[in-house]
Amino acid sequence: MASSALPAPSVVAVAVAVAFAVATLAATASAAVTYDRKALVVNGRRRILLSGSIHYPRSVPEMWPDLIQKAKGGGLDVVQTYVFWNGHEPSPGQYYFEGRYDLVRFIKLVKQAGLYVHLRIGPYVCAEWNFGGFPVWLKYVPGISFRTDNQPFKLEMQKFTTKIVDMMKSEGLFEWQGGPIILSQIENEFGPLEWDQGEPSKAYASWAANMAIALNTGVPWIMCKEDDAPDPIINTCNGFYCDWFSPNKPHKPTMWTEAWTAWYTGFGVPVPHRPVEDLAYGVAKFIQKGGSFVNYYMYHGGTNFGRTAGGPFVATSYDYDAPIDEYGLLREPKWGHLKELHRAIKLCEPALVAGDPIISSLGKAQKVKHRSLCSFS
């Protein structure tokens, strides 16, 4: 008589598989990166996060460990980078992730240093990078129109975005997998285009947001300079100052994805500089107004190798007057001044994320905002 029962080894195997799946789901839930109106929440804890942009193709791999350690030494929690589509897919379906474009190696080095990663997939990135990061072959796709409600473009964008997300998952690089990636970005500075182009752009922005969320990265997604970013996407600020900025919904945190440390260098114009006192003041004021995530663009600018420089007369140097200069050396007093600012902010982190400030009157037309005392021990 045939038995419908599984043999004992199969029962054990199924039980083990189920237990593993349950454990994985439990680990994902407990380690999820979420957010509320105050901050990103990592492993159940609200965090004020200090971040710096280091673009992996703008330096050589031999520099990466030192750059990352100097970022950590400067008091950063996060390394932010774009993903450069034209470097990774120079021909349709032909991928390259070696040398300066070894994204996985770069992210794993950040993890080894004990820092987080903000991965700005785009895949349009601007970044003063050739063709905004788009591969040249993309313009020859029949019927294509960039960054609008256009099916050929959306198909290619979704393919590449999915490729990157799947690669990160397979390498275990999202935070819920034990990796360092706590935040992702779809599109880039799309708001001004949306205002100009109207309904097709609105439809595209909504599609891009939904496409990103459906990839199930387990971490929040942002759209920078995109006031209409739909839930649960967080809209964020870029600029020299962002203390004026508020997100488009009260349940979202206030985030500054590009605090410009200066500006890019152009041929035939003076090299830009920004005094660290001004930069530090802008960051401190943003935190005082309720900001909880600040990223320095750039923390290390690096070099536009080959013909990667994009935009009008952008120079080979992408130094950006950053705290770590083009060659990987500390730029003082900028690096050290910001390090001390970061130390002060971190001492006050529990008070800053715990609640809202109390506003007290000091008399006619005078008010003060105050919180619980910071610990300066």
**258 annotated active-site:** yes
CA 71 to chain centre: 15
Strand partners, 236: 224
Write down the catalytic residue from 189, 199, 226, 332: 189
Angle at 71 between CA 117 and CA 260, to 5 degrees: 80
Count how many residues are written for the chain. Answer: 377
Q: How far is CA 22 from CA 16, 26, 170, 176, in A?
A: 10, 6, 19, 14
Write down the catalytic residue from 128, 187, 194, 258: 258
The DSSP code for 333 is T
β-pair type (49-54, 293-300): parallel
Q: Which two tokens stand for residue 259?
A: 């605090």
Q: Which two tokens stand for residue 260?
A: 């410009």
Short-list 253, 126, 263, CA closest to 183: 253
CB 277 within 8 Å of CB 340? no
Q: State the virtual CA torsion across 4, 10, 15, 19 in degrees, nearest 10.
A: -140
Active site residues: 189, 258
